[in-house]
């Protein structure tokens, strides 16, 4: 599918600000809460990227403006071999656009569903790559908060990359975070137990991902949020013995799924980084220097002759279920004073980014909470799903309570925490 070109044949100004006219639009390869992801080609460089576009009206309706701006800002700070990096950001009158590294190998949820269990050597390899990605994020003071197979994308070679920073935040050095965000089945005990948490929760979530990839099931079950919470807080970690995972792999799993975050694998000393992961016997075959340079050969290479994603995304536009994306000129000089506050906030804060011209900058610590316009700081109303059963892989976010101080003592499960809802409106975050 070629790009829909504008009827007027004005030359494209590649020296000016980046916009949709700089790209040819190709096929849709994914779908998010607020829009699609499609392959695009930069008309000048001929490079292929993934274009994630977000419908402003839907975004306002679901009160997700603050999240979109937060994601845009965080992505500007990040550049790493094992992360899906932002290359361009811009907007038109209807959509906000993220142009990201293209990953045509599919997400790990897709491969898990297609193959069932995945081979241990591939899971070990991806875990090592993702460990380097997490170490980098945490050094940038970023918690991802939504590590799950759906948010890990393979490139055509089979390397793993972390994506989707919609609920990611900067962590505070002074206080712990208390808001519930992420996907319930992957949440750490200190999140569901509302004990306050920081960067170490990503390592627990990585452990749940590793378990699921190795055994094609998750370590904690529960049809309701209460049952899931209790399972995460108290159930023993059962390693299926019949599935043939090496003793070293089982030991690494128990390390990641340690309920005491101070002894959890990856968390023992932030200053030392991930030395405890690198020296763990399960990773003895990993050449960490080569891996840091992306020079190791992945043991699992996606079949590029097949689509590694759900091809039905393209049909929606074909069957006119939804309006196809087209290049459209912006209204000249929008009057910010007359705009809806939310649209104005997007106009002012979802700024243009072009990796070939802009240096990556950090908004920390100047990026205090981005609060959705006109909304109080009270927690958002949370909706239980219609069937009252849990959607364990759906991302949820609830606004933070007052931050708790950094703890002196270790996490203990203590009293039963209040239940966590299974689905929620997107709120804003600390």
Amino acid 429: pLDDT:
43
Which stretch of 119-133, 194-208, 240-254, 368-382 has the lowest confidence by average pLDDT?
Answer: 368-382
Residue among 263, 120, 247, 283 nearest 204 (CA): 263
Phi/psi for 97 (5° steps) reads -120, 135
pLDDT of 182 over the 60 cut: yes
Q: Are 294 and 159 in contact (CB under 8 A)?
A: yes
Eight-class DSSP state of 177: B
Q: Are 67 and 146 in contact (CB under 8 A)?
A: no
Q: Averaged over 165-194, what is the pLDDT? A: 92
Q: Kindly state the helix (H) or strand (E) to which residue 393 belongs, with its residue range.
A: none
Amino acid 155: pLDDT:
94
Amino acid 172: pLDDT:
86
Residue among 199, 116, 112 nearest 160 (CA): 112
Distances in whole angstroms, Cα of residue 276 to Cα of each of 250, 266, 283: 16, 6, 10
Eight-class DSSP state of 325: P
Amino acid 31: pLDDT:
73
Residue ranges of the annotated binding site for ATP are 52
Residue among 173, 210, 197, 186 nearest 260 (CA): 197
Catalytic residue set:
146
Q: Are 161 and 84 in contact (CB under 8 A)?
A: yes
Quote the tokens at residue 339: 């705009």
Q: Are 149 and 107 in contact (CB under 8 A)?
A: yes
Q: Averaged over 52-65, what is the pLDDT? A: 89
Domain at 20-103+306-354, CATH from 3.50.50.60, 3.30.200.20, 3.40.80.10, 3.40.640.10: 3.30.200.20
pLDDT band at 366 (very low <50, low <70, confident <90, very high): low
pLDDT band at 13 (very low <50, low <70, confident <90, very high): confident
pLDDT of 121 over the 60 cut: yes
DSSP 17-49: ---GGGEEEEEEEEE-SSSEEEEEEETTT--EE
Which stretch of 107-111, 246-250, 273-277, 371-375 has the lowest confidence by average pLDDT?
Answer: 371-375
pLDDT tens digits for range 135-151: 999 999 999 999 999 99
- The count of C-alpha atoms lying within 13 angstroms of the C-alpha of 83, restricted to the half-sphere facing its C-beta, is 23
Rounded to whole angstroms, how far apart are CA atoms 156 and 274?
27
Return the biggest CA–CA distance within the chain.
Answer: 67
Higher pLDDT, 189 or 57: 189
* Residues found in the chain: 430
Higher pLDDT, 177 or 332: 177
- Report the b/e string of 230-247 with b at 16+ CB within 10 A: bbbbeeeeebeeeeebee
Rounded to whole angstroms, how far apart are CA atoms 328 and 93?
8
Beta strands in 308-366 (DSSP E): 353-354
Angle among Cα 120, 121, 126 to the nearest 5 degrees reads: 95
pLDDT band at 116 (very low <50, low <70, confident <90, very high): confident
Q: What is the CA radius of gyration of the chain?
A: 22
Residue among 132, 127, 81, 76 nearest 99 (CA): 76
Q: 3-state secondary structure string, 158-175?
A: CCEEECCCCCCEECCCCE
pLDDT tens digits for range 252-302: 999 999 999 999 999 987 777 899 999 999 999 999 999 999 999 999 999
**Which of 17-21, 127-131, 394-398 is modeled with the greatest confidence?**
127-131
pLDDT tens digits for range 25-55: 988 887 766 677 889 999 999 999 999 999 8
Which stretch of 7-16, 67-76, 153-162, 237-246 has the lowest confidence by average pLDDT?
Answer: 7-16
Please state which architecture CATH assigns to domain 108-304+382-424. Answer: Orthogonal Bundle (1.10)
Amino acid 358: pLDDT:
84
Domain boundaries, the chain: 20-103+306-354, 108-304+382-424
pLDDT band at 15 (very low <50, low <70, confident <90, very high): confident
Amino acid 10: pLDDT:
67
Amino acid 426: pLDDT:
39
Higher pLDDT, 376 or 271: 271
Q: Averaged over 199-215, what is the pLDDT? A: 97
Residue ranges of the annotated binding site are 52
**Which of 1-10, 22-31, 48-57 is modeled with the greatest confidence?**
48-57
Residue among 156, 132, 75 nearest 358 (CA): 75
pLDDT tens digits for range 289-337: 999 999 999 999 998 887 777 655 555 554 444 556 677 676 666 666 6
First to last CA, the chain: 42
Q: Percent of the chain at pLDDT above 70?
A: 77
Supply the mean pLDDT for the chain.
81
């Amino acid at each position: 599918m070629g790009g829909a070109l504008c009827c007027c044949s004005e030359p494209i100004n590649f020296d000016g600000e980046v916009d949709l006219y700089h790209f040819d639009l190709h096929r849709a390869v994914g779908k998010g809460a607020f829009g699609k992801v499609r392959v695009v080609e930069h008309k000048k460089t001929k490079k292929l990227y993934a274009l994630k576009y977000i419908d402003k009206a839907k975004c306002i309706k679901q009160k997700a403006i603050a999240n979109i701006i937060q994601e845009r800002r965080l992505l500007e700070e990040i550049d790493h071999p094992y992360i899906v990096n932002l290359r361009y950001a811009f907007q038109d009158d209807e959509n906000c656009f993220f142009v990201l590294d293209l990953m045509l190998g599919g997400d790990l949820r897709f491969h898990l569903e297609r193959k069932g269990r995945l081979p241990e050597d591939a899971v070990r390899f991806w875990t090592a790559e993702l460990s380097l990605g997490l170490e980098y994020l945490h050094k940038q003071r970023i918690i991802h908060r939504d590590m799950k197979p759906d948010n890990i994308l393979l490139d055509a070679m089979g390397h793993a990359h972390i994506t989707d920073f919609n609920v990611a935040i900067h962590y505070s050095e002074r206080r712990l975070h208390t808001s519930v965000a992420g996907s319930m089945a992957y949440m750490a005990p200190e999140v569901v137990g509302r004990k306050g948490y920081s960067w170490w929760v990503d390592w627990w979530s990585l452990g749940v991902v590793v378990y699921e990839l190795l055994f094609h099931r998750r370590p904690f079950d529960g049809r309701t949020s209460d049952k899931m919470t209790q399972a995460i807080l108290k159930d023993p970690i059962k390693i299926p013995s019949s599935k043939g995972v090496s003793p070293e792999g089982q030991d690494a799993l128990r390390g990641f799924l340690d309920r005491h975050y101070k002894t959890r694998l990856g968390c023992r000393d932030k200053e030392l980084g991930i030395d405890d992961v690198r020296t763990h016997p399960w990773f003895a075959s990993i050449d960490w220097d080569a891996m840091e340079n992306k020079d190791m050969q992945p043991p699992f290479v996606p079949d590029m002759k097949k689509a590694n994603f759900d091809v039905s995304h393209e049909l929606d536009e074909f069957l006119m279920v939804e309006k196809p994306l087209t290049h459209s000129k912006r209204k000249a000089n929008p009057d910010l004073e007359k705009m809806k506050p939310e649209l104005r906030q997007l106009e002012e804060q979802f700024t243009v980014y072009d990796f070939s011209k802009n240096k990556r900058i950090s908004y920390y610590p100047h990026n205090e909470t981005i609060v959705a316009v006109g909304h109080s700081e009270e927690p958002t109303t949370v909706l239980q799903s219609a069937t009252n059963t849990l959607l364990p892989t759906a991302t949820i976010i609830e606004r933070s309570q007052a931050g708790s101080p950094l703890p002196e003592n270790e996490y203990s499960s203590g009293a039963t925490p209040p239940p966590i809802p299974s689905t929620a409106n997107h709120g804003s975050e600390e």
